[in-house]
Amino acid sequence: MDAALPNLYGLSREALAAPLEALGARGYAAGQVYRWMYGRRVLDPARWTDLPLPLRQRIAETCRVDPGRIEGRTEAPDGTLKVRIALHDGRAVEAVHMVQAGRVTLCLSSQAGCALGCTFCLTGTMGLLRHLDPGEIVGQVALLQEDRGLAGDRFNIVFMGMGEPLHNYEAVLAAFRLLTDPEGFALSRRRITLSSAGLAPAIERLAEEPKGPRLAVSLNATTDLQRDRLMPINRKYPLERLLAACRTFARAHGDRFTFEYVLLHGVNDSDADVDRLGRILARHPAKLNLIPFNAVPDRLPFHPPPRARVVEIRDRLLARGLPVSIRWSRGAEVRAACGQLAVQS
């Protein structure tokens, strides 16, 4: 496939109209191509049988329909699959297929690398290489569906892979619309969760979307001093600014959002941390996911608390009547778990 050709994959109906009309297509062809690419997941123009044969040939000669390509697979003992997806310009990203209690979840990347530099996240060591476009984002879904034989819409999506989704706002929301369009991937918006490290203005912008994904906020600290050290974005949008944005989102959507708290042994897991965390949670319409840190011994200088301490923290918060659970990560043995995705050159 010639990477220099314009790519139709990732375009909306409206955006498809101009390139197709330039090839002599009638106006309704954009809707037909849209349904073939996203609704039926058929990416070969030769098989778009409700379009005239000469038009299909012109599309094949002058355009790409390119969602990316799986160039590597690594499977963990628990069945979690991490795939490396090659992009048209030689970059690559990682995405993950997980199954737990019969529920399938796809973890997607929104950027190649990440600019935010959270000190406990391996992706942050890459820096930001570039944003992904909408086709490169939904392409991860299409490729994993084909690779895993996933039919229909009975799976969940989390934007928790490489990158900060709200730093690539326009492309991520465009991908979200393709994923939830009844003539596209036809997923319920309630099956899609976006995780942010704390871009407060973008969370407020997300609150204004008439239909948007569920929100998870990566908190990971209970004081600004502590969060500044772990998550540099906090220096620009401190805790109270971030929490105000979360309240705005909750009021706008009527949804209970999620706080994520990565537990770092000896860093953010003291009794005082737990007490402050409980007070924050009590003031917000949110549930809490405790995530024991997924160690990368040769790259990141942190460790998870002992399992008994993780359970103790959960139980202390539950005793206060707060909605909290532990998210035991999957795929850590192959660096497919939370905070472990990175493409090393």
> What positions carry a catalytic annotation?
94, 338
Can you give the C-alpha Rg of the chain in angstroms? Answer: 21
Burial of residue 99, with CB atoms counted within 10 A of its CB: 0-12 exposed, 13-18 middle, 19 or more buried: middle
Record the tokens describing residue 309, joined without a space. 């301490």
- Give the H/E segment covering residue 173: helix 169-180
Is the Cβ–Cβ distance between 39 and 152 less than 8 Å? no
With tokens 């094949």, the residue in question is 60
Write the DSSP symbol of residue 257. E
Question: Residue 291, SS3?
Answer: strand
Amino acid letter for position 170: E
**How far is it, in rounded angstroms, from Cα 41 to Cα 44?**
9
Residue 308: is it exposed, middle or buried by C-beta count within 10 angstroms (0-12/13-18/19+)?
Answer: exposed
The Cα–Cα gap between 104 and 93 comes to 20
- Strand, helix or coil for residue 187: coil
Beta strands in 171-256 (DSSP E): 192-196, 214-218
Q: Which two tokens stand for residue 254?
A: 């009527």
